[in-house]
Structure 1
């Protein structure tokens, strides 16, 4: 007869914490852009933009992403992905504040 042994505490596999952190960042990023995407028609109507102006603004988002990706590679090599990811997440969240301010607070 064998004696049951107590279960060993589960340990994370190497890189498991990094995988979870990256998953959370992708979740947050997806939620932020999904929230923005459903508000595009309201922003368009509020600012009285035509289709060309709205298209140019949305194109600027893509071009800004391309420009930031070239810088991000350099910053990651210099400072490490942990710092760069945290800074990008904080700046992304802060960039959502100004559009939500009431009109009286805008410059």
Structure 2
């Protein structure tokens, strides 16, 4: 194995671990948020249709809020350090205690 192929294999391994970590962490955040859905619906007095609309709008808002021009210009890697704190702070309400 040459040094170039060893470096490439290491880069692939790091990318695999990073991808697994990001998806795993996002799964934990989503699980905590979905466990709080009945409480959120109760706090805001949402009907099942209103709750469905809330979930639809959060998905659409995350797509609309993407920095498309910055990602096209620089790639997605520079966006990750700034994106995760925003993502985690937006999901912070999943850890709020029940009222």
When the two structures are superposed, what TM-score results if normalisation uses the length of structure 2? 0.71
Please, which runs of 5 or more residues in structure 1 have no aligned partner?
1-10
- Preserved CA contact (<8 Å) 1:25 1:89: no
| CA positional deviation for 1:102 | 9.1
Which structure has the bigger radius of gyration? 1
Pick from 45, 49, 61: which aligns with 1:48? 45
| Root-mean-square deviation over aligned CA pairs | 2.5
The yes-or-no answer on 1:77 pairing with 2:77 is no
SS in 2 for 1:15: helix
- Distance in 1, matches of 2:56 and 2:26, equals 18
Q: Which has the higher contact order (CA 8 A, sep 6+)?
A: 2
Aligned residues: 91
The yes-or-no answer on 1:97 pairing with 2:80 is no
- Distance in 1, matches of 2:98 and 2:49, equals 26
Sort the Cα spacing of 1:31 and 1:102 in 2 relative to 1 into closer, same or farther, 3 A: closer
When the two structures are superposed, what TM-score results if normalisation uses the length of structure 1? 0.67
Greater helix share, structure number: 2
| CA positional deviation for 1:63 | 1.3
